[in-house]
Chain A
Amino acid sequence: MRRDVQAIILILVGGAVLRITIGDTFLNYVQEAMRPWLLLSGGILVVLGVLALIDSIRQGRAADDEQTPHDEPHEHDDGHGHGHGGPRAAWLLLLPVLAIFLIAPPALGAYAAARDVNNSAPTGEAKAPPLPPGDPAPVTVAEYVGRAVWDDGLTLVDRTVEMTGFVTPDPAGGWWISRMAVACCAADAIASKVKVLEVPDLPADTWVTITGRWVPGGGTKTDTAIPLIEVLTLEEVPQPKNPYE
């Protein structure tokens, strides 16, 4: 691989990283806290690439003057399976670049949520603190699952809660309001699901905000229990800035 191509690949990879980080697309893949690090690393790659490109143009010009091919001293195979100072594996770096610029994969949605057998990460046996004040009280889907399944719904009795998630069709009919929780990046996402009662069918991956009240019957103290909620209001909303919780 020629040095100018190497330089272009560096610029493309750095540019792709910057492209998703400026704006909020990167939140589909990783956490907000990564932003400065992504900006920094994308910037470093672009700078390295631009400097390498300048090098290669200068070398090319010098080589033309001297009537010798550019890069001459670097053409031995150094045992890395590549001559020319550039590894062939570097071509693969174009895959994520193309995926970002051409496909722009969306945030994980109903397909990933339905695949997850367990419902939410276990919250342990500790007693849940009371819900935050407010009517309705805002909760995350994972929090609702934790309170309903692992704390017998004690803190949910007689309270109206509000949560936002996307529609995952329940194979048994109806749908779950669901949300993916991400610890580090989307590769380790864990789905939380709550069965909504008596609502019209909506297409998968529709984002909704609901208010409702807990009703018993979803099962407790198991990883696969899916708690229930009786819906008071249902509103379609755009995908939140951060699709994960």
Chain B
Amino acid sequence: MSTPSTKESKGYRPGSLEILAIGLVILIIGQRWFVGLFDDPALQTGATIFISIVVQAMPFLVLGVVLSGAIAAFVPASFWKKALPKNPALAVPVAGAAGAVLPGCECASVPVANGLMSRGVAPAAALAFLLSAPAINPIVLASTFVAFPGEPMMVVARFIASLATAVIMGWLWLRFGKAKWLRIGPRDHLVGSSSWHTFRLTATHDFLHAGGFLVIGGLAAAALNVLVPQEWLLAVADQPILSVLVLAGLAVLLSICSEADAFVAASLTEFSLTAKLAFLVVGPMVDLKLISLQVGTFSSKFATRFAPATFILAVLFSILVGWWLLT
């Protein structure tokens, strides 16, 4: 059953099962040599950080693909038409606010948003949900409250700035977005012989996809964690605008799960509250792992437009809300 047919020759790696098997055998035989490569403490630290990001994200990712599979298989398309206002301009804030109810981190939100779109939800509304769900869900707000004792306004500021960014991005998409940038497709090949089969096919496909890109994000974050000296970061903390931009940029690079980022932000003690707010608003919406997931799920045309626009709006709202509530 391993012989590839002629029809499969294009875009097909012949004998992927054999490549996998041979590769694994080589690695197992060469384990001692392979492990020797990782004796360097910097490499080991990087490997530990890489594994911890992947392992920490895994349950949320699985939850996300199970949810997106369930949406695809068990929730009839008509449900979304009833649940969301018909007018997309109204559906955007409703979907954005709905993000406050569903716990889940950003790794889960991309496949879920993709599932929503393929079920006929207006892309603008699904995108507002994609941005708001990881940023303002109860678990994230609770962790922010715990991370900033004595600064309860941080929670309020995070909620307002994140929801505002999500809703405005949804409306911007409605006005300027082009359907051809999104690659949702009917996903016919993921329709199985029964609801249960469809669920399995969708969950499996989404997991393999998002998981691959999570690995890229984890590698990038681990490399940065080990390569960028902390002294560089501390040097810019005194500059008000620059420090906001630097923490926003750091949020993009570090790609920490939104459940965890409040504790990291709290540990950046040299920085102003507004700069930390930018870290918390940007992180769940734009980071290396998310951009990579968006490229994989939607398309690079989408991600190169959507991610920078979200970044700019998130920074602007952080500065505004920070100036209003945190000074």
User: For the complex, is B42 an interface residue (Cβ under 8 Å from A)?
Assistant: yes
B50 contacts which chain A residues (CB < 8 A)?
96, 99, 105
Binds B, one of A106-114, A130-138, A154-162, A206-214: A106-114
User: A42, A109, A121, A188: which contacts B256 (Cβ < 8 A)?
Assistant: A188
Number of inter-chain CB pairs below 8 Å? 223
- Among the listed A34, A91, A109, A111, which residue makes an inter-chain contact with B56, where contact means beta carbons less than 8 Å apart? A34
Instruction: Let me know if A152 is at the binding interface, CB within 8 A.
Output: no
Does the CB pair B189–A89 fall under 8 Å? no
Contact A75 B7 (CB under 8 A): yes
Cβ–Cβ contact A185 & B11, under 8 A: no
In the complex, what residue of chain B is closest to A111 when comparing beta carbons?
B41
Q: How large is the interface on A (under 10, 10 to 19, 20 to 34, 35 or more residues)?
A: 35 or more
Specify which of A30, A51, A102 is in contact with B35 (CB 8 Å cutoff): A102
Q: Which residue of A lies closest to B199 (CB)?
A: A48
Residue of A63, A94, A112, A184 near B260 (CB, 8 A) is: A184
Q: Which residues of A contact B216 (CB under 8 A)?
A: 89, 92
Most buried by B among A13, A122, A186: A186
CA distance A236 to B298 in the complex (A): 53
Interface of B is mostly: helix
Q: Find out whether the CB atom of A111 lies under 8 angstroms from the CB atom of B185.
A: no
Knowing A29-B51, A30-B56, A121-B267 touch, does A87 contact B296 (C-beta < 8 A)?
yes
Q: Check if B150 is an interface residue, CB within 8 A of chain A.
A: yes
Q: Which of B73-81, B82-90, B205-213, B309-317 contacts A (4 or more CB under 8 A)?
A: B205-213
Tell me if A93 is interfacial: C-beta within 8 Å of chain B.
yes
13 contacts between A and B (CB under 8 A): A13-B211, A64-B1, A82-B11, A83-B10, A86-B205, A87-B212, A88-B212, A96-B51, A105-B48, A111-B42, A121-B267, A187-B49, A187-B56
Known: A84-B11, A100-B51, A109-B45. 11 other contacts (CB 8 A): A17-B58, A70-B1, A83-B12, A93-B212, A93-B215, A94-B20, A102-B35, A110-B41, A118-B230, A184-B263, A188-B264
Q: Kindly list the 3 A-B residue pairs having the minimum CB-CB distance in the complex, ordered from nearest.
A: A89-B212, A184-B260, A183-B263
Interface residues of A (CB under 8 A from B): 1-2, 4-6, 8-10, 13, 17, 20, 26, 28-30, 34, 37-38, 40-42, 44-45, 48-49, 51-52, 60, 63-64, 69-70, 73-80, 82-96, 98-100, 102-103, 105-112, 115-118, 121-122, 124, 183-188, 190, 223
